[in-house]
Structure 1
């Protein structure tokens, strides 16, 4: 399996498909999943002639199940290790959920001269946690509940999340896909419990405000207005005000996992942005 070794000695698994001289699109997955979550996007862009790259975050998927470094600084550095190993340039970085925070942090910290465009989908920035400065955020008890459920029975928790709020399958009239639910569970259970536990703090308590202000490249912000995991009001609707070159695309009644439930909509808008 293709892997790159990080400065702190971990192996990060990655996929690198398509012509090596084509424009690269780099995908950053959400918690607690893996690069497999991008199947619908990677196959689509591969068919359009692009080079598509995605990695498994440390502790997730097929990457090293380390007990350390589960924070945005390490996540961004790991992404940079993959990009530099492959010497990718003129890249479009696409991040979903926690991966949106990772892609943003990578772009600002490591992407100068390499990143052409950035896409944030259902992404956690600027800050999920409710604080005095962020009164619209979610209270710490929500994330403590995540940690408790994960520690008590990770396997059941990783069935409950995709069966309900992640894909909007708890909404009236929804038609759950058992394959999608089980694939979410499969990806989650491939990773390490420590990475997933610590990752909750990383995605909920990291403040990306200054990163958003610092982005110099065109940025597309995509969000479902029925996102029950990362509520749009405290995420995309604030992020777009902080970006210098941002475009907002809101998807009516779509859930957090819209890349999987509605790939035809997401892929068409991604393609238009990449080509535009």
Structure 2
């Protein structure tokens, strides 16, 4: 079931709600520069096992509205809160990948973990910001030749071999975003961080991180693990930045085991 939630006047966020009658709910927050579709291989499996899986597209990405502003962590966390309130979610698991992990962390701190019983961080962009030179390179490439930039991102995303059609699918997902929102998020990753938010997370937290991650190095996952009190780090030995795709069976099993 797909529908839109208005998160502020004139801005609607796309929501994919699979198996609304499920026994336990997982709210997935995608990474940059993708959409909820990145979790296809979770949505294929988990709802059939009785879980309610909800994927949202950030503003500016996927099927959501693409306003010219609102791409800082606070506003993105506010959008998540608006969806949580609209869907009346409670006792759910919040699962965020990469930048979506940073947004999830900000949500936990800004809203005292409203409605969240467990947190899953997947190769999260935490705790520090993206190095200025790297971020500026991505911004410049986005504003000058975004398709070329997206091809480059696809190349560094994975550790394992992926087929050309899968790479094309990933590439097309990135093209669904607006150019201005793609650049604006990278500016936020350069200028903001979630370091001071981590100590405010009190719920059980599962940190999944590919040891071959070239986007957010595994050492960042270790650092995040140290800064969140009630957390466990599970290394994924054969993954880069996308364990939900590269080791999908192990990933799904870890998720089920953690959520119960």
State the TM-score bracket (shorter-chain normalisation).
over 0.9
In the alignment, does 2:3 pair up with 1:7?
no
Shift of 1:176: 2.8
Counterparts of 1:120-131 in structure 2, within 5 Å, are: 120-129=121-130
- Partner SS for 2:207: strand
CA contact (8 A) 1:127 1:205 kept: no
Structure 1 partner of 2:76: 75
| Aligned residues between the structures | 259
1:79, 1:14 → 2: CA distance? 11
**Which residue of 2 is the match for residue 206 of structure 1?**
192
SS in 1 for 2:8: coil
Q: Of residues 136, 141, 151 in structure 2, which corresponds to 1:144?
A: 136
Q: Indicate how the Cα distance of structure 1 residues 153 and 266 shifts in structure 2: closer, same or farther if over 3 A, else same.
A: same
Instruction: Say whether 1:218 aligns with 2:204.
Output: yes
2:149 to 157, 177, 181: 157
Q: Distance in 2 between matches of 1:205 and 1:126?
A: 13
1:203 Cα deviation (Å)?
2.6
* Displacement of 1:236: 0.7
Contact 2:22–2:50 (Cα < 8 Å) also in 1: no
Q: Given the alignment, which residue of 226, 232, 243 partners 1:247? A: 232
CA distance in 2, matches of 1:4, 1:16: 12
Name the counterpart of 2:173.
187
| TM-score, L = length of structure 1 | 0.90
Structure 1 residues without counterparts, runs of 5 or longer:
130-138, 169-173
Secondary structure, in 3 states, of the residue corresponding to 2:45? helix
Matches within 5 A, 1:1-276: 1-20=2-21, 22-110=23-111, 112-129=113-130, 139-162=131-154, 164-168=155-159, 174-233=160-219, 235-275=220-260
The whole-number CA distance in structure 1 between the counterparts of 2:35 and 2:255 is 20
Tell me by how many angstroms 1:271 deviates.
Answer: 0.8
In structure 2, what is the Cα distance between the partners aligned to 1:179 and 1:91? 34
Change (3 A) 1:175 1:113: closer
What is the alpha-carbon distance in structure 2 between the residues aligned to residue 23 and residue 30 of structure 1? Answer: 23
Counterpart contact for 2:28–2:94, Cα < 8 Å: yes
Q: Distance in 2 between matches of 1:100 and 1:52?
A: 17
Alignment partners' CA distance in 1, 2:9 and 2:226: 36
Aligned-residue offset at 1:195: 0.4
- Deviation at residue 9 of structure 1 after TM alignment: 2.5
1:245-264 deviation per Cα after TM superposition (whole angstroms, max 9, x unaligned)? 01011112420012112211
Deviation at 1:21, TM superposition (A): 5.6
TM-score, normalised via structure 2 length: 0.95
Of 82-91 and 251-260, the range deviating more from structure 2: 251-260
Counterparts of 2:189 and 2:166, CA distance in 1: 23
Deviation of 1:89 after TM superposition, in Å, equals: 0.6
Contact 1:223 1:256 in 2 (8 A): yes
Partner of 1:134: none
